[in-house]
């Protein structure tokens, strides 16, 4: 029954995506090129609509008797906020308030659970309001971390697919079927989207899709280590650390660099990991490199299960900054080799294959 539901969800997602592409100008959800963006032509950014609708339909059909109503309502709120932001950009403070409110609702029952997984044992000495606040901040951080990774074709969706596959497998092992089915439902909706989002992309997921992904993944991670089936072995906590390591580390590094320069951490720039990679390789190569690194982080945490959690976290941080240092120091000669997407918009005709129809050349 489950494979059939997966196939039907993917089919529904594909049909909605093609409808959104066909009527993209009428719908009006368009992402136009500018000096910060890699794409050189107008793209539809309505993919999040297909993800949300297919995701909801699979959950309703699979879990009608045990539907996680609170989570699905909050996920709907995150989706609607992202959709509104795609149509008419919201202020950063309004988005943060909205995210905190919805995250607090789903974090409340998880923070109440007294069965703490190894790695979270220090929380038992903290008052409930503080634990609730920490879980809420984690959900908001994850939501925004995956949103910020949605910078090049195929990246956010591919990262989410790897992370959700890992979480779904672990949730099945600990017998949390409800949360595992949430991960599978989103994966089913995501597969056809990736076929249209891989370079050269035809459609983006927009903030509605990337925030929905981050919100869902954060909930799955908390359910693994602090859900109704907790406590679980320390191994699962380290797997969860590996799943969230790359997006969160990249977000914290970028925010820290902005503040050190005296800028707001929310001020956009081109210092994310995918921006660094695009100076040396093209978009598909950058996406595969980051996804491979995310997979390596998860594998590394699995292999370090006999070590302390802090040792695993410090090892991941060291690996992340070593990767950036290696790229900047050792890969410099590759900057002029081969066709690639150029982030400064000096796009040549040879590289126009990465734009949808015709390259968009900004006015000087």
Summarize the annotated binding site as residue ranges. 147, 207
CB 185 within 8 A of CB 171: no
Count of all residues that appear for the chain in the document: 364
How many helices (H) and strands (E) are present in the chain, helices listed first? 13, 2
- Is residue 230 within 8 A of residue 120, CB to CB? The reply is no
What is the rounded distance in angstroms from the CA atom of residue 143 to the CA atom of residue 99? 8
Angle between helices 92-112 and 206-226 (to 10 degrees): 20
Q: H/E element holding 327?
A: helix 309-330
Q: Name all contacts of 271-277 with Cβ < 8 Å and 24+ positions apart.
A: 272/148, 272/149, 272/151, 273/246, 273/324, 274/149, 274/151, 274/152, 274/155, 275/151, 275/343, 276/324, 276/327, 276/328, 277/327
CB 56 within 8 A of CB 64: no
Q: Which two tokens stand for residue 294?
A: 């995310």
- Binding positions for Mg(2+) are 147, 207
């Amino acid at each position: 029954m489950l494979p059939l539901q997966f196939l039907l969800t993917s089919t529904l997602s594909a049909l909605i995506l093609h409808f959104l592409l066909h009527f993209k100008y009428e719908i009006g959800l368009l992402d136009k090129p500018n000096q910060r963006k890699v794409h050189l032509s107008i793209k539809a950014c309505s993919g999040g609509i297909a993800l949300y609708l297919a995701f909801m339909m699979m959950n309703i059909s699979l879990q009608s008797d045990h539907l996680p109503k609170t989570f699905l309502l909050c996920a709907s709120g995150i989706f609607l906020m992202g959709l509104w932001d795609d149509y008419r950009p919201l202020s950063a403070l309004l988005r943060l308030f909205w995210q905190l409110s919805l995250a607090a609702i789903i974090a409340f029952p998880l923070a109440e659970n007294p069965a703490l997984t190894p790695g979270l044992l220090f929380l038992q000495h903290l008052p409930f309001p503080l634990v609730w606040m920490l879980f809420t901040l984690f959900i908001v951080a994850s939501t925004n971390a995956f949103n910020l990774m949605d910078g090049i074709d195929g990246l956010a969706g591919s990262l989410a697919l790897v992370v959700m596959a890992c979480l779904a497998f672990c949730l099945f092992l600990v017998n949390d079927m409800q949360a595992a089915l949430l991960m599978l439902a989103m994966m089913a909706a995501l597969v056809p989207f990736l076929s249209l989002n891989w370079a050269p992309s035809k459609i983006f997921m927009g903030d509605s899709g990337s925030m929905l992904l981050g919100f869902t993944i954060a909930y799955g991670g908390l359910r693994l280590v602090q859900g109704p089936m907790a406590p679980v072995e320390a191994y699962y906590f380290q797997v969860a650390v590996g799943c969230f390591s790359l997006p969160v580390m990249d977000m914290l590094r970028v925010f820290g660099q902005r503040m050190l320069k005296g800028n707001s951490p929310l001020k956009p720039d081109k210092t994310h990991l995918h921006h660094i990679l695009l100076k040396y390789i093209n978009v598909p190569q950058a996406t595969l490199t980051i996804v491979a690194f995310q997979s390596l982080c998860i594998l590394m945490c699995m292999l370090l299960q006999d070590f302390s959690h802090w040792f695993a976290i410090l090892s991941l941080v060291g690996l992340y900054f070593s990767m950036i240092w290696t790229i900047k120091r050792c890969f410099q000669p590759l900057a002029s080799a081969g066709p690639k997407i150029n982030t400064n918009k000096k796009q040549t005709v040879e590289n126009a294959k990465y734009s949808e129809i015709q390259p968009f050349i900004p006015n000087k």
